[in-house]
């Protein structure tokens, strides 16, 4: 009986989707550059144990202090051999009075939930 149980556990491990091992996507760092007219470029460094098309970091999002989405950068493919990686999102319009934002990453299985980074915005040109 113990042999059958051990075999069942082993076989379950073989067929359990490997995507569960990749965990959540984390934002490690964010660089912010003002563009003018209340717009900014955000360069986010994201880390995730991408396993391929079944489980990969597929976006990052810039959030205002009230949780409102200010912009999303979709990541169209896995970065299995490029970890961590940095991608940019330009033209993000930030409302007047907002002095900091939070950037979070999304993955294709777990959604949002990994480490986030909150950054203070540089002064707007002309302020």
Asked whether residue 10 is assigned to any structural domain, the reply reads no
Q: What is the number of domains present in the chain?
A: 1
Of 120 and 123, more confident: 120
Asked whether residue 83 is assigned to any structural domain, the reply reads yes
**pLDDT on residue 73:** 96
The whole domain housing 107 covers: 22-120
Asked whether residue 113 is assigned to any structural domain, the reply reads yes
Tell me which residue of 35, 20, 32 sits closest to 103, measured CA to CA: 32
CATH number at residue 38: 2.60.40.10
Asked whether residue 79 is assigned to any structural domain, the reply reads yes
pLDDT, mean of residues 118-122? 95
**pLDDT on residue 30:** 97
The answer to whether the beta carbons of residues 23 and 110 sit under 8 Å apart is yes
pLDDT digits (tens, 9 = 90+) for 76-111: 887 877 789 899 999 999 999 999 999 999 999 889
pTM: 0.80
**pLDDT on residue 125:** 65
The CA-atom distances, in angstroms, between 6 and each of 9, 15, 17, 65 are 5, 14, 19, 51
Asked whether residue 47 is assigned to any structural domain, the reply reads yes
pLDDT digits (tens, 9 = 90+) for 26-78: 999 999 999 988 899 999 999 998 788 988 888 999 999 999 999 999 988 87
Asked whether residue 49 is assigned to any structural domain, the reply reads yes
The CA-atom distances, in angstroms, between 35 and each of 2, 3, 18, 32, 96 are 66, 65, 41, 10, 14
Of 40 and 16, more confident: 40
Asked whether residue 15 is assigned to any structural domain, the reply reads no
pLDDT digits (tens, 9 = 90+) for 45-55: 999 987 889 88
**pLDDT on residue 29:** 96
Asked whether residue 3 is assigned to any structural domain, the reply reads no
**pLDDT on residue 4:** 52
């Amino acid at each position: 009986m113990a042999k059958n149980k051990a075999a069942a556990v082993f076989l379950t491990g073989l067929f359990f989707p490997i995507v569960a091992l990749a965990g959540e996507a984390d934002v490690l760092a964010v660089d912010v550059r003002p563009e003018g007219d209340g717009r900014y470029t955000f360069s986010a460094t994201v880390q995730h144990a991408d396993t391929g098309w079944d489980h990969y970091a597929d976006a990052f999002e810039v959030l205002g202090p009230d949780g409102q989405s200010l912009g999303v950068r979709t990541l169209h493919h896995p970065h299995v051999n490029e970890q961590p990686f940095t991608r940019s999102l330009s033209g993000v319009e930030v409302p007047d009075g907002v002095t900091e934002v939070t950037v979070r990453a999304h993955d294709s299985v777990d959604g949002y939930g990994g480490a986030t980074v909150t950054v203070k915005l540089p002064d707007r040109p002309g302020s």
